[in-house]
């Protein structure tokens, strides 16, 4: 029962188990897949392992095959690897798969890998939603390259630096409507750019240096000013150039000098603001009070002010290579030292000075609580979350930051433990309250977040007496301080759709295991159930294998036709269902042959009376004006465990007993014994 329970969990999680044999000397690769894996791929369970491998490999998106091969080579060196890639299902189209594996065996001829294959399509798409104005063309690359885009860019594409072939990853729908999803970059951009700008763009592309983190250029595309930012990424064993497009038409329309002065006035109007003048060429920082420092001395002094987790961010932000690329205002938020200023944050802004060529103006401004909340929301939440909460697990503090369309306690600071207890008692459906209490324990949340970036689960919620399915997602905000963000979103529609899919799959499973004429189990289902019985407690119990064959069934078919023959088979099936226990396995094995497997019988002697009564139950008369046929049955019986504990052995011995009865005049039964073999 434990194995069945695990199989059920894997099936509900859309997770199949596989084993792959890689042939080093040829192409005879094999994949052995469990039933759930076969179901996820849409293939029969009895498919040849070589065909299974070929079918799986054919479904992998071509641009991801090198990525898969690289992962296999890493597994070969002993690493445990997890990858995600698009896979084409024969009926359902593009699915997104999470796959992990490890090395089980290896020699000169082949290696064997084992792992799992999980369909994560719904999760990937749910966690990469940008809004109605955007369209995502490659969810996995979007997730890899731009996990916190938050509407900052208008489009993004990936470019092969050698061939200049590009593929769009995401963009605004109004942009994508007249740009092909794939093609060659230069001819595509040439149709939308002046000759002067095209020359500058070609120079920008040709001078791309993969060692530099980021470069940018500003050009006009279709009369709109665009800032194009280039950065390096590695995917599928090769370097790629990522291009990000930002529409800066409105920004260009403003005077740069006026923009600088207005920005400074806005900043200086706040309290606790420091203004610095940075000269990257001289590597000096000039303070308004006349004090000077080197850039490195200035960054080192910031270490005393901010949390240790911010040091690398500050080092990168004030690095000489970054300062030399500043062409417009850039901002970061940095957390102050918790011991000195709990929950304190500064906003640090860099902008080019247009009065002192090559200089950078920097401002450091303390953030008030309102800006603090806004910063969290802009970093970690999109518009599709109903509730956003900030949790301090160490101090049992719970702060709701955003509540939309749900009944929820909005007091600014509360106890997490008390809030969760109240929420579960008043909103979670009764049958899931125990599950909610376990899943929302601080220890369980933090332990899960140590393993995964996101800890999530769903619960049924009563909201104004209406049932809703809510997804709870926990993310680390600050791992060192056990600060966590909780985001709750409504996934009712998706949940109901998945439940309908489960119902349909269960219907398909029943149909695949049922004889369509009699409604009994078919041969495959019968053999599977008997094997499972012996794999569990069946080896310790006395059981009986009955092989039932109809006498003169062919005469019914020949005399009255196949419709009458089908009716006779249905009559026999109904009689067997009424006669035997619900725990017994009853099957139409094929043609006019039936099997009954009686589990856990008390003793062998009881079978004699049972068989005598059964033979009387299996007598049916079919007649018309000219003919009358009395249909009867003969039965061969094998006993487990003495006659075997595998279906092949039991069937063979029951068939020998049945053969003896057929030769002795039919309409009787016999138990197998050794004398039959003599």
For 213-248, the pLDDT digits (tens) are 678 888 888 878 888 888 887 765 677 888 888 877
| Mean pLDDT, range 130-147, rounded to an integer | 57
Q: Where are the beta strands (DSSP E) in 535-607?
A: 543-551, 585-590, 593-598
89 contacts 42 by C-beta, under 8 angstroms: yes
Q: Are residues 341 and 381 in the same domain?
A: no
Q: Are residues 477 and 551 in the same domain?
A: no
Closest CA to 186 of 199, 172, 173, 169: 199
Please tell me the predicted confidence (pLDDT) of residue 78. Answer: 77
| Mean pLDDT, range 385-413, rounded to an integer | 72
**pLDDT per position as a tens digit, 198-210:** 888 888 888 887 7
Q: Are residues 59 and 32 in the same domain?
A: yes
User: Tokens 């070969």, residue?
Assistant: 76
Which has more confidence, 123 or 585? 585
Tokens, residue 236: 């599928």
Instruction: Report yes or no on 458 lying in a domain.
Output: yes
Instruction: Report yes or no on 281 lying in a domain.
Output: yes
Closest CA to 379 of 135, 147, 131: 147
110 contacts 22 by C-beta, under 8 angstroms: yes
CA dihedral sign of residues 522, 528, 530, 533: negative
387 contacts 400 by C-beta, under 8 angstroms: yes
Q: How far, in Å, CA of 415 to CA of 611, rounded?
A: 70
Q: Are residues 384 and 486 in the same domain?
A: yes
Q: Is the pLDDT of residue 660 over 60?
A: yes
| CATH number of 99's domain | 3.30.450.20
User: Tokens 């640090």, residue?
Assistant: 348
Please tell me the predicted confidence (pLDDT) of residue 272. Answer: 55
Peptide bond into 154 cis (omega under 30): no
Q: How far, in Å, CA of 425 to CA of 415, rounded?
A: 16
Neighbouring-strand partners of residue 219: 226
Instruction: Report yes or no on 506 lying in a domain.
Output: no
Instruction: Report yes or no on 362 lying in a domain.
Output: no
How far the first Cα of the chain sits from its last, in Å, is: 41
Of the ranges 403-417, 435-449, 492-506, the best mean pLDDT one? 435-449
Q: Are residues 665 and 526 in the same domain?
A: yes
312-326 core/surface letters (b: 16 or more CB in 10 A; e: else): ebbeebbbeebbeeb
How would you write 428-491 as a 3-class SS string? ECHHHHHHHHHHCCHHHHHHHHHHCCEEEEEEEEEECCEEEEEEEEEEEEEHHHCEEEEEEEEC
Domain housing 22: 2-119
**pLDDT per position as a tens digit, 263-311:** 554 454 444 567 788 888 888 888 766 678 898 988 888 888 888 888 8
Q: How far, in Å, CA of 268 to CA of 257, rounded?
A: 17
Q: What is the mean pLDDT of the chain?
A: 81
User: What does residue 58 show for φ and ψ, rounded to 5 degrees?
Assistant: -60, -30
Q: Is the pLDDT of residue 75 over 50?
A: yes
Q: Are residues 270 and 339 in the same domain?
A: yes
CA dihedral sign of residues 425, 427, 429, 433: negative
Q: Are residues 338 and 429 in the same domain?
A: no
The three-class DSSP label of residue 330 is: strand
Q: Is the pLDDT of residue 70 over 90?
A: no
Tokens, residue 427: 């909103």
Last residue of a domain, one of 85, 119, 153: 119
Q: Are residues 394 and 307 in the same domain?
A: no
Number of domains the chain is built from: 5
Tokens, residue 443: 């220890």
| Mean pLDDT, range 539-550, rounded to an integer | 92
Of the ranges 111-120, 363-372, 643-652, the best mean pLDDT one? 643-652
Neighbouring-strand partners of residue 368: none
Question: What confidence tier does 405 reach under pLDDT thresholds 50, 70, 90?
Answer: low
The three-class DSSP label of residue 102 is: strand
Instruction: Report yes or no on 505 lying in a domain.
Output: no
The three-class DSSP label of residue 345 is: strand
Q: Is the pLDDT of residue 476 over 70?
A: yes
Q: Are residues 132 and 111 in the same domain?
A: no
Angle at 325 between CA 320 and CA 330, to 5 degrees: 100
Q: Are residues 220 and 264 in the same domain?
A: no
Q: Is the pLDDT of residue 149 over 50?
A: no
Instruction: Report yes or no on 302 lying in a domain.
Output: yes
**pLDDT per position as a tens digit, 160-198:** 888 888 888 777 777 666 778 788 888 888 888 888 788
Which range has the worst mean pLDDT, 109-113, 464-468, 580-584? 464-468
Angle at 631 between CA 627 and CA 636, to 5 degrees: 155
Tokens, residue 201: 């763009």
Strands 466-478 and 454-463: antiparallel
8-state DSSP, 316: H
Instruction: Report yes or no on 361 lying in a domain.
Output: no
Please tell me the predicted confidence (pLDDT) of residue 288. Answer: 63
| CATH number of 525's domain | 3.30.70.270
Q: How far, in Å, CA of 468 to CA of 458, rounded?
A: 10
Q: How far, in Å, CA of 482 to CA of 476, rounded?
A: 7
Element (H, E) at 32: strand 30-33
**pLDDT per position as a tens digit, 267-278:** 544 445 677 888
Q: Are residues 419 and 341 in the same domain?
A: no
Q: Is the pLDDT of residue 571 over 90?
A: yes
Q: Are residues 17 and 141 in the same domain?
A: no
pLDDT cut 70: percent of the chain above it:
83
CA dihedral sign of residues 492, 495, 500, 503: negative
Closest CA to 244 of 208, 223, 212, 215: 215
Q: How far, in Å, CA of 554 to CA of 565, rounded?
A: 8
Last residue of a domain, one of 469, 495, 521: 495
Which has more confidence, 81 or 73? 73
Tokens, residue 380: 């970690």
Instruction: Report yes or no on 358 lying in a domain.
Output: no
Question: What confidence tier does 130 reach under pLDDT thresholds 50, 70, 90?
Answer: very low
CB contact set of 627 (below 8 Å; sequence gap of 6+) = 559, 560
Of the ranges 7-21, 119-133, 593-607, the best mean pLDDT one? 593-607
Last residue of a domain, one of 93, 119, 145: 119
């Amino acid at each position: 029962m434990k194995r069945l329970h695990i199989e059920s969990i894997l099936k509900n999680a859309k997770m199949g188990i596989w084993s792959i044999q890689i042939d080093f000397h040829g192409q005879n690769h094999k994949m052995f897949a469990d039933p759930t894996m076969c179901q996820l791929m849409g293939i029969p369970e009895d498919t040849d392992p070589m065909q299974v491998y070929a079918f799986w490999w054919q479904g992998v998106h071509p641009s991801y095959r090198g990525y898969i091969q690289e992962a296999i080579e890493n597994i070969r060196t002993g690493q445990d690897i997890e990858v995600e890639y698009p896979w084409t299902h024969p009926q359902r189209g593009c699915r997104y798969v999470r796959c992990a594996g490890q090395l089980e065996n290896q020699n000169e001829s082949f290696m064997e890998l084992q792992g799992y294959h999980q369909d994560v399509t719904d999760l990937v798409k749910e966690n990469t939603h940008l809004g109605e104005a955007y369209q995502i063309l490659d969810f996995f690359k979007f997730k890899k390259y731009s996990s916190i885009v938050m509407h900052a860019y208008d489009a993004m594409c990936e470019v092969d630096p050698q061939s200049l072939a590009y593929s769009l990853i995401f963009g605004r729908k109004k942009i994508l409507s007249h740009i092909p999803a794939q093609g060659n970059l230069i001819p595509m951009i040439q149709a939308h750019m002046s000759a002067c700008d095209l020359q500058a763009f070609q120079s920008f592309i040709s001078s791309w240096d993969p060692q530099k983190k980021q470069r940018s250029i500003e050009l006009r595309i279709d009369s709109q000013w665009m800032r194009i930012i280039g950065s390096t990424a590695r995917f599928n064993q090769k370097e790629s150039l990522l291009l990000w497009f930002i529409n800066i038409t409105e920004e260009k329309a403003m005077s740069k000098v006026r923009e600088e002065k207005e920005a400074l006035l806005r900043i200086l109007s706040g309290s606790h603001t420091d203004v610095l003048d940075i000269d990257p060429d001289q590597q000096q920082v000039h303070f308004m009070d006349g004090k000077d420092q080197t850039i490195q001395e200035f960054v080192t002094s910031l270490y005393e002010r901010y949390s240790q987790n911010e040091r690398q961010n500050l080092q990168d932000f004030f690095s000489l290579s970054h300062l030399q690329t500043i062409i417009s205002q850039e901002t970061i938020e940095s957390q102050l030292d918790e011991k000195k200023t709990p929950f304190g944050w500064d906003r640090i802004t860099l902008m080019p000075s247009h009065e002192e060529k090559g200089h950078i103006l920097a401002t450091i401004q303390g953030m008030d609580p309102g800006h603090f909340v806004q910063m969290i929301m802009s970093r970690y939440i999109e518009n599709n979350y109903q509730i956003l909460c900030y949790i301090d697990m160490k101090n049992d503090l719970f702060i709701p930051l955003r509540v939309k369309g749900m009944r929820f306690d909005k007091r600014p600071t509360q106890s997490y433990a008390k809030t969760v207890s109240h929420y579960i008692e008043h909103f979670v459906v009764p049958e899931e309250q125990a599950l909610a209490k376990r899943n929302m324990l601080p220890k369980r949340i933090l332990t899960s977040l140590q393993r995964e970036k996101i800890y999530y689960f769903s619960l049924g919620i009563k909201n104004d007496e209406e049932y809703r399915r809510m997804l709870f997602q926990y993310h680390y905000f600050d791992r060192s301080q056990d600060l966590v963000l909780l985001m709750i979103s409504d996934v009712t529609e998706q949940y109901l759709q998945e439940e309908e899919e489960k119902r349909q799959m269960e219907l398909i499973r029943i149909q695949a295991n049922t004889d369509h004429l009699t409604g009994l189990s078919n041969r495959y289902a019968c053999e599977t159930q008997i094997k499972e019985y012996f794999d569990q407690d069946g080896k310790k119990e006395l059981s009986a294998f009955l092989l039932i064959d109809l006498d003169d069934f062919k005469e019914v078919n020949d005399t009255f036709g196949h419709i009458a023959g089908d009716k006779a088979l249905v009559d026999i099936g109904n009689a067997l269902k009424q006669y035997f226990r619900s725990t017994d396995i009853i099957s139409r094995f094929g043609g006019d042959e039936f099997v009954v497997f009686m589990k856990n019988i008390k003793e062998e002697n009881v079978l004699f009376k049972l068989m005598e009564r059964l033979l009387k139950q299996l007598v049916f008369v079919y007649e018309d004006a000219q003919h009358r046929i009395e249909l009867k049955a003969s039965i061969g019986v094998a006993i487990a465990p003495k006659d075997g504990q595998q279906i092949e052995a039991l069937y063979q011995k029951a068939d020998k007993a049945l053969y003896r009865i057929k030769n002795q005049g039919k309409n009787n039964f016999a138990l197998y014994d050794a004398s039959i073999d003599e």
